Chain A
Amino acid sequence: MKTYLLGLSAQDNLDDDLKPSEAAYNSINKTLETSGITISEVDFLISATSTPDFNNPGLAPTILGKYEGINTGGIEIRQSAAGFHYALDLAKNFIEAEIHKTVIIVCTEFLKRAYTSKNQAADSELVREMEDLSGNAVFSCLVTSENLPGFESALSPKFLVKDGAVYSNEKGFKALITEIPSSSQLPERITVENIKQNRHLPAFRRNDFAEISHRLTEPALRKFNVNNANFKIRHSPCECEKNSYYGSAGVGEALTTLLESGKIKAGETVSTFSCGAGLNWGVYNLELV
């Protein structure tokens, strides 16, 4: 059995009024349409995000709750920019273990929205760096096998998930960190004082992140031959321009853009890499079939 991605859908020009769950719902509906399946045929949802509608519950049940009569399970993971790769790794394992046949991945990030709450008086370079880079985007796709009924006739282009893995290492923990809320901060996990100090916003130490991520991720990039690929997608806060860091949605957004450009042809492989807070990182090679 092989694992495939279908129904890739991404949006990066999101309405200011949208909730994350609404953006995710709209994207998933496009995924379902081009994959040729209905929501009742989806076994499981994996939501990767750092910007849910509520602090808890997370986005996964909120998205699924927009579909009437659906009691499908949905897991919520927080893996920063590596969210797509972690979601893909988990979905691939579900498919290959035959625990699920159809898994929707949705990566939803409204990163820009955090900065309306910024205290300008306490602004720092560490916070401003991420503010300048941050954007809003959503991506979704279906992960399944060739055994899906209607697989061959699905409208959507398909990517074969070839090889890859996900990783973590604590050495870069402080290079990109949002401290608050913090359960071990006493007496309260979040205070007005914390907000005034902007400790609820990501602090980005670019040089530390660049040095540590380069050193830690090099073995995986070599193992999966990412740097020699004809098509490469790399998403991390060090490699993005203004307003184009999309967290977990970054790889999927770039993948959809590549697909829509027509530059990649059947039989060709795109190597994808992401690195985010943790540090967490992931690599996957995908072949357009």
Chain B
Amino acid sequence: MIFISGVGHYVPEHVVTNDDLAKFMDTSDEWIQTRSGIKERRWSRKGNEKGKGITLQEMVYKASLNALAEANLKSSEIGAIFFATISPDNEMPGSGVLLKELLGIESDIPVFEIRNQCSGFLYALQAGRAYIKNGKVENALVIGAEIQSSGLDLSTRGRNTTVLFADGAGVLVLSAKSSSGHELKDLRLHSEGVYADKLGIRYPAYARDPIIAEADFGGDTPGIYPNMDGKFVFKHASTRMPEVIRAILEAKGLDLKDLKTVIPHQANLRIIEMLSAALGPEVKVFSNIQHYGNTTAGSIPIALSEASKNGFIKKGDLACLVSFGAGFSWGAALVTW
């Protein structure tokens, strides 16, 4: 058996409301809320200040301390780290080894740097699951975290994506033994790469030569900022998320009437509402996107942490974590809480 022995999260203190965004781009609170449900989000970036802000590993460190405290574990008891992000502090190496240093982990444990966008946390969770299941490690940190605010276009040109994305970190402690009783039962992952160009950031990257050029910083659709075909993504997310939930339940001989709670990736409130409608009124579907925006790999662990602390998810609930995002990649994890 594999247990979730602790969950923690951290979001930057700086709150950016929709009215704040309207000061520097042509948008409005009503426009943003209608399309996404987001009222405010957290950014590490406060404006155009220069220099070094809070680092990704510092955010994850704070979240890790909460998760470890809940698990009643010391950091020295962690045998591996699985770190999912698309926004590391340095392109290479990523943030994982510096997190290890911050946590004071002296052993040369494996630190996986995982790049799977909005489904990154579930991919990291599957990797951690394999190590625990084999007895390779007793406890692992599974992390989803992003600092996206430094990669957004703050002009009107970028408003379709800038209003959505935000910063935050969530950490889960996965353990071979735990008194929590929160059991990870199954997990499945998928991709559909023919749509890789529908959501993502193009450059710097290696599909063409040069990997980055000055022209990528300007024009109508700069390659250094997120691009998204919103309607296309919405349509596919609305199909794949309920589909993978049904599939993972069926594989365990269960169905929707056994499911109590869903913790979905927080991409857009309208997608969450579509998912809720597809699952029926007996299934509670969590959302905090109104206050945190889309934190990509951080979204599910932040949501799980909040849901577990405010009583939304209750002991004994059969719960499903579900993601859909760039790749496209999607997945679901079944947990008895």
Which residues does A use to contact B, with CB under 8 Å? 16, 19-21, 44, 50-58, 60-66, 71-80, 86, 89-90, 93-94, 96-97, 99, 110, 113-114, 116-117, 165-170, 173, 176-192, 195, 200, 202, 216, 220, 277-280
Contact = CB atoms under 8 A, between A and B. Distances in A.
Interface in B188-213: 188-197, 199-213
B97 to A, nearest CB: 4
Interface in B260-304: none
Interface in B39-66: 44-45, 47-56
Contacts of A94: 130
Given A58-B116, A116-B210, A183 B129 contact: no
A57 B326 contact: yes
A89 B110 contact: yes
Interface stretch (B21-29, B144-152, B251-259, B306-314): B144-152
Nearest to B91: A178
Contacts of B114: 75-77
B204 A200 contact: yes
B211 A181 contact: no
Given A65-B192, A93-B134, A280-B111, A184 B205 contact: no
Contact of A60 (B55, B116, B133, B205): B116
A190 B203 CA distance: 10
A61 B134 contact: no
B90 A182 contact: yes
A190 B88 CA distance: 12
B127 interface: yes
Contacts of A200: 91, 204, 211-212
Interface stretch (B30-38, B67-75, B170-178, B327-335): B327-335
Contacts, number: 256
A183 B87 contact: yes
Nearest to A97: B133
25 contacts: A44-B189, A51-B206, A55-B200, A73-B329, A73-B331, A86-B110, A89-B110, A93-B133, A97-B129, A99-B129, A113-B209, A113-B211, A114-B211, A116-B209, A170-B98, A176-B92, A178-B91, A180-B91, A186-B52, A186-B150, A187-B49, A189-B150, A190-B224, A191-B217, A200-B212
Top 3 A-B pairs ranked by shortest CB distance? A65-B193, A73-B189, A61-B193
B191 A167 contact: no
A166 B137 CA distance: 13
Most-contacted residue by chain A among B91, B212, B224 (CB, 10 A):
B91
B113 A183 contact: no
A94 to B, nearest CB: 5
Given A89-B110, A277-B93, A183 B213 contact: no
A134 to B, nearest CB: 12
A55 B203 contact: yes
A69 B191 CA distance: 10
A114 B133 CA distance: 39
Contacts of B205: 51-55
